[in-house]
Amino acid sequence: MGMKLWTGRIQAETNALVNDFNESLSVDNRLYRQDIQGSIAHSAMLAKVGIISDEDAEVIKGGLDQILFDIEKGNVELSPDNEDIHMNIESILTQRIGEPGRRLHTARSRNDQVAVDMKLYVKEEILHIRKSALAFQNVLVDIAKAHVDTVMPSYTHLQRAQPVTLGHYMMAYAEMLVRDITRLEDCLARMDTCPLGAGALAGTTYPIDRAMTAEALGFKGIAPNSLDAVADRDFCLELLSALAILMTHLSRLAEEVILWCSMEFQFVELDEAFATGSSIMPQKKNPDVAELVRGKTGRVYGDLFALLTVMKGLSLAYNKDMQEDKEPVFDAIDTVKVCLDVFAPMMATLTFKKENMRTAAAKGFLNATDCADYLVKKGLPFRDAYGVVGRLVRTAVDKNTTLEDLPLEDLQNVCELFSEDVYAAINLENCVNARKVPGGPAPEMVLAHIVQVEKFITDREDNQ
């Protein structure tokens, strides 16, 4: 076991168990690129303010660029004896370039180094996730555009409620993604301060230029308080919260797909490329993709609660507990990305059974409210109209028919206000088309919503 970079006060060799317990390289090795990026910016700033020479900064940059190249080619062996990716890279750099490498860590601590690496990583991943979410949103909008006239039942309490269209249904999930994407953007905006220069927790006595490193690394400004800069993991918590909510929405849509492709609903047919079979039941066509998305949602919730629990009792500033931030953040990011990437093509290849949807809407008495509204327009108080239609539904159930198919005589036996025009009023398509309130399921309203969301998507795709 080699000499550790932090050997000073501690002279005894670290117990092997402690060494294994303490290391985070197995987790944080994915931060190599961000760590090198931060170190290059830091060394350039040190040279600019005269803390190290321009020659040393050039040698450091060349060494770090070569390490980055070698890591990506698989030609670097990282050692857990050096605990983490940060100390591994510094150790390799010093081995390769000698004395200049030992000057790199001037006016810097691993505390602000780790914080900047995590922020750089999270910023990049938010943009990747946003791109995937926008692509998924596009799929939902495409389905909606193709089905603005496809009548289907909506539900409350999982009971058929009122007629809507499949287009309206899909746009509900597209609107959820509007909120998911803007939450990610809000997180990105709030975390856009650079912690470099905060040192271990109290800054440094060196005349560093924090604004220079912030600008070089693409941050809008510097973290204004050195204690908070190294102790802050709000950006991780906020990301995990946004991802947990996003997964909630994916899980709800997954549940819809699972129900809709069952024999009990028969609203959709899964493409065979996104379904699996049973080992013993040859008739099965299982919605495993949707089920896994639903299951992995709990995993992302766990990531959020794990980090909340880590952070809840920590005094300022850095504590080793905070090393546990990476696994939940990395896991949640990986999980959301794979769920979005597989869910989008699954949804794009669904076959929707329009006739089954229309039949389900008709048999569910979804036009009962419209029938009551018809009587209200004839002068009957709503509560009285509600009671009349309730009795008609009972009659239709007894006769195994629908409100649309009840003879006018049966309607008039319950209320004399009914006339022939009632059948137009309770026609399912007319019921949907009449709901022209903004946000409603009438095709013109759904198309207006589609235009709005398409602009939302285009504005962001143009700036990616």
**Active site (catalytic) residues:** 157, 278
The DSSP secondary-structure symbol of 262 reads S
Place of tokens 């009792």: 313
Q: How would you class 81 by CB atoms within 10 Å of its CB: exposed for 0-12, middle for 13-18, buried for 19 or more?
A: middle
Q: Phi and psi of 62, rounded to 5°?
A: -60, -40
Q: Which helix (H) or strand (E) holds 159?
A: strand 159-165
Chain mean position to CA 267: 27
The DSSP secondary-structure symbol of 4 reads P
Q: Phi and psi of 153, rounded to 5°?
A: -80, 145
Q: Is the peptide bond before 317 cis (omega within 30 degrees of 0)?
A: yes
| Euclidean distance between CA atoms 34 and 391, whole angstroms | 69
Task: Please state whether 159 falls in left (phi above 0), alpha (psi between -120 and 50) or beta.
Answer: beta
Q: How would you class 407 by CB atoms within 10 Å of its CB: exposed for 0-12, middle for 13-18, buried for 19 or more?
A: exposed
The DSSP secondary-structure symbol of 195 reads -
Q: Phi and psi of 15, rounded to 5°?
A: -55, 140
| Euclidean distance between CA atoms 446 and 454, whole angstroms | 12
Residue 333 to residues 55, 301, 446, Cα–Cα distance (Å): 39, 12, 32
Q: Would you say the C-alpha torsion 155, 161, 167, 168 has a positive or negative sign?
A: negative
Q: Would you say the C-alpha torsion 109, 112, 115, 119 has a positive or negative sign?
A: negative
Give the angle 324-328-331 at the CA atoms, nearest 5°: 135
Q: Phi and psi of 268, rounded to 5°?
A: -135, 160
